[in-house]
């Protein structure tokens, strides 16, 4: 099933898009709805939809800014832009950002269905995340413990036994204090950051195409290639082999 993400700040428009088309008959499912571009950006990177149907003018982040950031982070989801007549210049900009169609409001359900059908007839390239997009944000001026934790992970991620106990011991600080400080500054646990960094490195190595998947798993600290594959798919939405194929 092709996954659809609807992004619009107007509830009636979102409901109209979600309910006005027989998505199941078209081989689609509405995976999620977002009320603004910032929420749409988060959901798109998380869900890797095949198609995004988005308004242009929205609070917090507009549709164009959302598409620009998605392209910047390696997301190639197809997009249909919903626009008012007097925003035609914005629709043209959206097309330059990779949108494949636009609909002028108000539009008919059959117009939307037709646009979606045309897109599905094309070769669909799902959202392929970039290695950098996987890393949680670190403050520009992190505390000593956060900076040293990140540095330790960068240097020791390939160690199969590495964990928060090792990191805390190396920094001469309690595990609980390190966990508290790291989560407070990054909104991410130390263990989660380690996992994300390992998969970040794995993505870069898989793009090289020369090492085998089990070799990449070993390189980034996973002895069990099946477990590595499950973690990789959970974070990227693709299996290691699928990711490698789509990075050719």
Q: Between 193 and 104, whose confidence is greater?
A: 193
CB 88, CB 42: distance < 8 Å: no
Helix 11-20 with 109-120: angle, nearest 10 deg: 60
124, pLDDT greater than 70: no
What tokens does 203 get?
């993505």
- Domains of the chain (ranges plus CATH)? 2-123 (3.40.50.2300), 132-247 (1.10.10.60)
Is the pLDDT at 85 greater than 60? The verdict is no
Judge contact between 58 and 12, C-beta under 8 A. no
| pTM of structure | 0.52
Binned at pLDDT 50, 70 and 90, residue 94 comes out as: low
The dihedrals phi and psi of 230, each to the nearest 5 degrees, come to -70, -40
Average pLDDT, the chain: 87
The CA distance from 169 to 173, in Å, is 6
Helix (H, G, I), strand (E, B) or coil at 86: helix
Give residue-wise pLDDT tens across range 21-66. 899 888 899 999 999 999 999 999 999 898 999 998 888 898 889 9
Instruction: Assess whether pLDDT exceeds 90 at residue 82.
Output: no
Dihedral pair phi/psi, residue 32, rounded to 5°: -170, 165
d(CA 38, CA 217): 33
What pLDDT score does 225 carry? 95
Q: Among residues of the chain, what percentage have pLDDT more than 70?
A: 90
């Amino acid at each position: 099933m092709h996954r659809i993400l609807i992004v619009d700040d107007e509830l009636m428009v979102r409901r109209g898009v979600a309910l006005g088309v027989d998505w199941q008959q078209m081989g689609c499912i509405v995976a999620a709805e977002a009320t603004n571009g910032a929420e749409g950006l988060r959901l798109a990177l998380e869900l890797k939809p095949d198609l995004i149907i988005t308004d242009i003018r929205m609070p917090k982040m507009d549709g164009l800014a959302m598409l620009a950031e998605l392209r910047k982070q390696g997301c190639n989801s197809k997009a249909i832009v919903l626009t008012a007549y007097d925003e035609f210049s914005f629709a043209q900009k959206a097309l330059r950002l990779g949108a494949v169609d636009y609909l002028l409001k108000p539009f008919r359900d059959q117009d939307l269905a037709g646009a979606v059908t045309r897109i599905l007839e094309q070769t669909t390239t799902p959202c392929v995340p970039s290695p950098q997009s996987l890393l949680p944000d670190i403050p520009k001026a992190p505390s000593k413990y956060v900076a040293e934790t990140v540095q330790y992970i960068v240097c020791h991620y390939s160690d199969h036994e590495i964990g928060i106990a090792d990191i805390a011991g190396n920094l001469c600080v309690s595990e609980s204090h390190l966990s508290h400080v790291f989560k407070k500054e990054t909104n991410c646990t130390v263990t989660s950051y380690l996992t994300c960094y390992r998969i970040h490195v794995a993505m870069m190595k898989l793009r090289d195409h020369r090492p085998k998947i089990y070799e990449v798993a070993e390189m980034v600290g996973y002895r069990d290639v099946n477990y590595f594959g499950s973690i990789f798919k959970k974070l990227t939405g693709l299996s290691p082999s699928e990711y490698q194929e789509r990075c050719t």
